[in-house]
Amino acid sequence: MKTDTAKDLELVLKSLANKRRIEIFTFLQLKGRRSVVVIAKEIKLSFRSTSKHLQLMYRAGLLAREQDGLVVWYSIDRKNPKAILLAKLFAYSHE
């Protein structure tokens, strides 16, 4: 395995190696695009902590991000094959 590929895989796996981030990914899988405020309220976590989790998942390529004024929206990145594969895995695990 190439070093870049291994590092990329490590980043993706680490981005989901946390209960809160799994909750976020599952929530976005089920509900679609949501703001940081809504996600924080849903998972019962502070805005600041939620933002940090979302940024990590965004940097790993799992989430897409859009900014509309002061509101930041996140969704699963449907253009990224890793995110699509994980979304399918999560959907399968919730059947």
The pLDDT of residue 95: 57
pLDDT beyond 90 at 92: no
Which neighbouring-strand residues pair with 73?
35, 66
The count of residues in the chain is: 95
Higher pLDDT, 42 or 1: 42
Helices 3-15 & 47-59, crossing angle to 10 degrees?
Answer: 160
pLDDT beyond 90 at 25: yes
Three-class secondary structure of residue 45 per DSSP:
coil
The pLDDT of residue 88: 80
* Tokens coding 40: 């924080």
pLDDT beyond 80 at 94: no
Q: What is the pLDDT of residues 34-69, one digit of tens each?
A: 999 999 999 999 999 999 999 999 999 999 999 999
* Tokens coding 6: 């291994």
